[in-house]
Protein backbone atom coordinates (compact mmCIF):
# COMPACT_ATOMS: atom_id res chain seq x y z
CA UNK A 1 0.00 0.00 0.00
CA UNK A 2 1.15 3.57 -0.56
CA UNK A 3 1.41 5.37 2.75
CA UNK A 4 -0.34 8.63 3.48
CA UNK A 5 2.87 10.11 4.92
CA UNK A 6 4.93 9.30 1.84
CA UNK A 7 2.47 10.92 -0.54
CA UNK A 8 1.79 13.86 1.77
CA UNK A 9 5.51 14.60 1.40
CA UNK A 10 5.42 14.39 -2.39
CA UNK A 11 2.05 16.07 -2.81
CA UNK A 12 2.82 19.02 -0.55
CA UNK A 13 6.10 19.71 -2.28
CA UNK A 14 4.77 19.12 -5.80
CA UNK A 15 1.71 21.34 -5.70
CA UNK A 16 3.66 24.03 -3.84
CA UNK A 17 6.28 24.65 -6.52
CA UNK A 18 6.64 28.23 -7.82
CA UNK A 19 9.57 29.93 -9.54
CA UNK A 20 12.37 31.18 -7.25
CA UNK A 21 14.69 34.17 -7.66
CA UNK A 22 17.57 32.64 -5.68
CA UNK A 23 20.75 31.76 -7.62
CA UNK A 24 22.16 28.23 -7.11
CA UNK A 25 25.77 27.28 -7.75
CA UNK A 26 26.75 27.54 -11.43
CA UNK A 27 27.35 23.79 -11.81
CA UNK A 28 23.76 23.10 -10.76
CA UNK A 29 21.93 25.83 -12.64
CA UNK A 30 20.39 23.29 -15.04
CA UNK A 31 18.98 21.07 -12.26
CA UNK A 32 17.59 24.04 -10.35
CA UNK A 33 16.12 25.53 -13.52
CA UNK A 34 14.57 22.16 -14.35
CA UNK A 35 12.87 21.98 -10.93
CA UNK A 36 11.65 25.56 -11.31
CA UNK A 37 10.21 24.94 -14.77
CA UNK A 38 8.56 21.73 -13.58
CA UNK A 39 7.00 23.66 -10.73
CA UNK A 40 5.77 26.47 -12.95
CA UNK A 41 3.91 24.06 -15.22
CA UNK A 42 2.39 22.23 -12.26
CA UNK A 43 1.35 25.44 -10.51
CA UNK A 44 -0.39 26.69 -13.63
CA UNK A 45 -2.57 23.56 -13.52
CA UNK A 46 -3.10 23.54 -9.75
CA UNK A 47 -4.06 27.22 -9.56
CA UNK A 48 -6.19 27.14 -12.68
CA UNK A 49 -9.97 27.20 -12.79
CA UNK A 50 -10.38 23.82 -14.47
CA UNK A 51 -12.53 21.15 -12.77
CA UNK A 52 -10.63 18.58 -10.72
CA UNK A 53 -11.12 15.88 -13.37
CA UNK A 54 -9.44 18.12 -15.95
CA UNK A 55 -6.61 18.97 -13.56
CA UNK A 56 -5.96 15.28 -13.04
CA UNK A 57 -5.87 14.76 -16.81
CA UNK A 58 -3.47 17.69 -17.26
CA UNK A 59 -1.17 16.63 -14.41
CA UNK A 60 -0.64 13.10 -15.74
CA UNK A 61 1.62 14.06 -18.70
CA UNK A 62 3.54 16.58 -16.56
CA UNK A 63 4.37 13.98 -13.92
CA UNK A 64 5.20 11.37 -16.57
CA UNK A 65 7.49 13.81 -18.40
CA UNK A 66 9.50 15.16 -15.47
CA UNK A 67 9.33 12.43 -12.81
CA UNK A 68 11.02 9.08 -13.50
CA UNK A 69 8.06 7.12 -12.18
CA UNK A 70 9.19 3.82 -13.72
CA UNK A 71 12.57 4.01 -11.97
CA UNK A 72 10.94 5.00 -8.68
CA UNK A 73 8.48 2.12 -9.00
CA UNK A 74 11.26 -0.42 -9.55
CA UNK A 75 13.23 1.03 -6.65
CA UNK A 76 10.20 0.79 -4.38
CA UNK A 77 9.56 -2.83 -5.34
CA UNK A 78 13.19 -3.44 -4.40
CA UNK A 79 14.41 -7.02 -3.95
CA UNK A 80 11.02 -8.37 -5.00
CA UNK A 81 11.67 -7.20 -8.58
CA UNK A 82 14.00 -10.13 -9.32
CA UNK A 83 11.36 -12.62 -8.14
CA UNK A 84 8.57 -11.02 -10.19
CA UNK A 85 7.49 -11.91 -13.71
CA UNK A 86 7.67 -9.27 -16.48
CA UNK A 87 3.85 -9.18 -16.41
CA UNK A 88 3.80 -8.50 -12.66
CA UNK A 89 6.39 -5.75 -12.99
CA UNK A 90 4.46 -4.15 -15.86
CA UNK A 91 1.19 -4.25 -13.91
CA UNK A 92 2.79 -2.99 -10.72
CA UNK A 93 4.43 -0.09 -12.58
CA UNK A 94 1.16 0.87 -14.29
CA UNK A 95 -0.66 0.85 -10.95
CA UNK A 96 2.15 2.79 -9.29
CA UNK A 97 1.66 5.57 -11.87
CA UNK A 98 -2.08 5.63 -11.25
CA UNK A 99 -1.80 5.63 -7.45
CA UNK A 100 0.79 8.40 -7.55
CA UNK A 101 -1.42 10.65 -9.69
CA UNK A 102 -4.49 9.77 -7.63
CA UNK A 103 -2.78 10.71 -4.35
CA UNK A 104 -1.40 13.97 -5.72
CA UNK A 105 -4.67 15.14 -7.28
CA UNK A 106 -6.74 14.13 -4.26
CA UNK A 107 -4.77 16.57 -2.09
CA UNK A 108 -4.54 19.58 -4.41
CA UNK A 109 -7.18 21.48 -2.46
CA UNK A 110 -5.23 21.12 0.79
CA UNK A 111 -2.29 23.18 -0.43
CA UNK A 112 -3.73 26.54 -1.39
CA UNK A 113 -1.32 29.32 -0.48
CA UNK A 114 1.76 27.11 -0.28
CA UNK A 115 5.03 28.84 -1.20
CA UNK A 116 8.31 27.41 -2.44
CA UNK A 117 11.81 28.85 -2.65
CA UNK A 118 15.00 27.29 -3.97
CA UNK A 119 18.20 27.30 -1.95
CA UNK A 120 21.61 25.74 -2.60
CA UNK A 121 22.11 22.91 -5.09
CA UNK A 122 24.85 20.30 -5.18
CA UNK A 123 25.86 16.92 -6.57
CA UNK A 124 25.51 13.76 -4.49
CA UNK A 125 26.24 10.26 -5.74
CA UNK A 126 25.97 11.34 -9.36
CA UNK A 127 22.55 12.97 -8.89
CA UNK A 128 21.76 16.66 -8.45
CA UNK A 129 20.18 17.70 -5.15
CA UNK A 130 18.08 20.86 -5.34
CA UNK A 131 17.24 22.24 -1.90
CA UNK A 132 14.06 24.16 -1.21
CA UNK A 133 11.85 25.49 1.55
CA UNK A 134 8.13 24.70 1.34
CA UNK A 135 5.72 26.64 3.54
CA UNK A 136 2.03 25.91 4.01
CA UNK A 137 -0.28 28.45 5.67
CA UNK A 138 -0.47 27.84 9.42
CA UNK A 139 2.34 25.26 9.23
CA UNK A 140 6.05 25.45 9.96
CA UNK A 141 8.34 25.62 6.89
CA UNK A 142 9.63 22.27 5.61
CA UNK A 143 13.05 21.57 4.12
CA UNK A 144 12.49 19.67 0.89
CA UNK A 145 15.18 18.28 -1.43
CA UNK A 146 14.49 17.32 -5.05
CA UNK A 147 16.78 14.57 -6.31
CA UNK A 148 17.31 14.94 -10.06
CA UNK A 149 18.96 12.25 -12.19
CA UNK A 150 20.02 12.31 -15.84
CA UNK A 151 20.59 8.54 -16.08
CA UNK A 152 17.66 8.24 -18.50
CA UNK A 153 19.27 10.75 -20.84
CA UNK A 154 17.21 13.71 -19.64
CA UNK A 155 16.75 15.32 -16.19
CA UNK A 156 14.11 13.52 -14.15
CA UNK A 157 13.04 13.74 -10.52
CA UNK A 158 13.79 10.41 -8.84
CA UNK A 159 13.09 11.24 -5.19
CA UNK A 160 11.71 13.88 -2.86
CA UNK A 161 13.23 14.19 0.62
CA UNK A 162 11.24 16.18 3.20
CA UNK A 163 12.81 16.92 6.57
CA UNK A 164 15.22 14.04 6.03
CA UNK A 165 12.52 11.55 5.01
CA UNK A 166 12.92 10.02 1.54
CA UNK A 167 9.73 9.25 -0.40
CA UNK A 168 11.20 6.27 -2.24
CA UNK A 169 12.97 4.78 0.79
CA UNK A 170 9.83 5.12 2.92
CA UNK A 171 7.70 3.55 0.21
CA UNK A 172 10.12 0.67 -0.38
CA UNK A 173 10.11 -0.09 3.34
CA UNK A 174 6.31 -0.05 3.42
CA UNK A 175 6.05 -2.35 0.41
CA UNK A 176 8.57 -4.76 1.93
CA UNK A 177 6.59 -4.79 5.17
CA UNK A 178 3.31 -5.42 3.34
CA UNK A 179 4.81 -8.21 1.24
CA UNK A 180 6.42 -9.90 4.25
CA UNK A 181 2.96 -10.05 5.84
CA UNK A 182 1.46 -11.55 2.68
CA UNK A 183 3.86 -14.36 1.88
CA UNK A 184 6.08 -12.19 -0.36
CA UNK A 185 3.28 -12.42 -2.92
CA UNK A 186 3.57 -9.58 -5.43
CA UNK A 187 0.10 -10.40 -6.75
CA UNK A 188 -1.27 -9.57 -3.28
CA UNK A 189 0.39 -6.15 -3.45
CA UNK A 190 -1.00 -5.58 -6.94
CA UNK A 191 -4.48 -6.51 -5.72
CA UNK A 192 -4.14 -4.09 -2.80
CA UNK A 193 -3.12 -1.28 -5.16
CA UNK A 194 -6.12 -2.00 -7.40
CA UNK A 195 -8.38 -1.89 -4.35
CA UNK A 196 -6.82 1.40 -3.28
CA UNK A 197 -7.58 2.94 -6.66
CA UNK A 198 -11.18 1.70 -6.68
CA UNK A 199 -12.00 2.85 -3.15
pLDDT digits (tens, 9 = 90+) for 132-150: 887 777 888 888 899 999 9
pLDDT value, residue 93: 96
pTM, to two decimals: 0.79
Residues with Cβ within 8 Å of 74's Cβ and at least 6 positions away in sequence, in order, are: 81, 89, 93
Identify which of 134, 56, 52, 129 has the alpha carbon closest to the alpha carbon of residue 97.
Answer: 56
Q: What's the CATH code of the domain at 82?
A: 3.10.450.710
Strand, helix or coil at 99?
helix
**When comparing pLDDT for 17 and 1, which is higher?**
1
The Cα 145–Cα 183 span in angstroms is: 35
pLDDT value, residue 17: 46
* Percent of the chain residues past pLDDT 90, beyond the cut: 40
Q: Which domain holds residue 145?
A: 4-198
Contact 179, 80 (CB under 8 A): yes
Contact 42, 14 (CB under 8 A): yes
pLDDT digits (tens, 9 = 90+) for 22-53: 444 334 458 988 988 887 787 777 777 778 78
The number of domains in the chain is 1
pLDDT at residue 20 above 80? no
Amino acid sequence: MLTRRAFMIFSAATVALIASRSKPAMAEVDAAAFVQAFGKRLTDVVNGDAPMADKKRLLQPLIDADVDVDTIARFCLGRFTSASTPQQIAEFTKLFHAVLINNITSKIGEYKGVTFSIGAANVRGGDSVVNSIVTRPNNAPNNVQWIVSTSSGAPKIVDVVAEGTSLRLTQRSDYASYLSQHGNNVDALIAAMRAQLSS
